[in-house]
Amino acid sequence: MNAPPALRPACSSVTCLRARAPCDVAGSCCGVVRARGEVGARGAARRRSKMLPTTSVNSRNQGNGALNSRDAARHTAGAKRYKYLRRLFHFRQMDFEFALWQMLYLFTSPQRVYRNFHYRKQTKDQWARDDPAFLVLLSIWLCVSTVGFGFVLDMGFFETIKLLLWVVFIDCVGVGLLIATLMWFISNKYLVKQQNRDYDVEWGYAFDVHLNAFYPLLVILHFIQLFFINYVIISDSVIGYFVGNTLWLIAIGYYIYVTFLGYSALPFLKNTAILLYPFALLIMLYLISLAFSWNFTKMLCSFYKYRVK
């Protein structure tokens, strides 16, 4: 009786199944099919890699985000400024909802606002805002509050317009440009960890930090304070200058704190805690003002009336 032939291993390849026959060599056709499948997969991967956008290793360095020469031309200060000013006249391109969100969180959680600046740096390679919606809303706030100040101080129409021009172009824009330029120079000169072109504070970011810090000050001194000027603050009582000077302490203290958060958010700066040192001078001045019965709000009102003469 002859021994039965050795059973060949079953093959699961498509080729053998279609032929309805076992493999001549155990697993040989399966190996061919697998090899062909791997070659096809590598070819498909190469085709997909050509279709997907890629970033060159040399196009962006680590750190502050240095660009190659081609991308640097599109990220110069002049190009960013032109793009920003161009969007200033296209209201449909502005994200006012996001700007309102930032204004709200500047009071409740300003750290969250600066975390968004980090995200902008990663996606658009710039720390400064590229959307002027925040500046537009701040200007509206400034105009409305200044008109309210003129009403509280019993100013006429033309006097209020004159005060508005002074506050917008001198107090906000002029002083803002001066402070932003001064902080930009100090931070790049003394606070940068490594003196390198790839690690520098953008002037636009310094101006944005000023706007962020100026907004809470504006709301406290030009809006909340209006409800207490005629009935509480301008009076010669102790309560009057205590309430008024306390509001000044909170407003300027908030300005210092938000400014500190803005520069401490930059990973390439050092010793940013020195920006909190003016707190000591502010508290000392506050205590002196209470001791000598100085009323800062009353001085401000007199100064505004003198401006519009």
74 versus 172: which is more confidently predicted? 172
- Give the Cα separation of 44 and 294 in Å (integer): 78
Predicted TM-score (pTM) of this structure: 0.73
Assigned domain for 146 exists: yes
Return the amino acid letter for 160: T
The DSSP result for 244-283, as a single string, is HHHHHHHHHHHHHHHHHHHHHTSTTB--GGGGGTHHHHHH
Assigned domain for 24 exists: no
Assigned domain for 186 exists: yes
44-89 pLDDT, tens digit each: 445 444 333 333 333 344 444 444 544 544 456 667 666 666 667 7
Could you list the residue range(s) of the whole structural domain that residue 272 is in? 90-307
Structural contact between residues 247 and 297, judged by C-beta atoms closer than 8 angstroms: yes
Per the structure, the count of domains in the chain is 1
Assigned domain for 66 exists: no
The DSSP result for 118-165, as a single string, is HHHHHHHS-SS-S-THHHHHHHHHHHHHHHHHHHHTT--HHHHHHHHH
The residues that bridge with 196 in the sheet, in sequence order, are 199
Assigned domain for 75 exists: no
Q: Map residue 68 onto helix, strand or coil.
A: coil
Assigned domain for 18 exists: no
CA angle 102, 104, 109 (to 5 degrees): 85
pLDDT of residue 91: 75
pLDDT confidence bin for 309, thresholds 50/70/90:
confident
89-132 pLDDT, tens digit each: 767 878 899 999 999 999 999 999 999 898 888 888 889 888 88
Structural contact between residues 256 and 275, judged by C-beta atoms closer than 8 angstroms: yes
Count other Cβ atoms within 10 Å, centred on residue 273.
9
Structural contact between residues 195 and 59, judged by C-beta atoms closer than 8 angstroms: no
pLDDT of residue 297: 95
Token pair listed for 148 = 């309210």
Phi and psi at residue 199, in whole multiples of 5°? -125, 90
Return the amino acid letter for 203: W
Count other Cβ atoms within 10 Å, centred on residue 118.
13
Assigned domain for 74 exists: no
- Give the Cα separation of 247 and 289 in Å (integer): 13
Assigned domain for 215 exists: yes
- Give the Cα separation of 207 and 184 in Å (integer): 9
Q: Which of 272, 248, 224, 250 is nearest to 114 (CA)?
A: 272
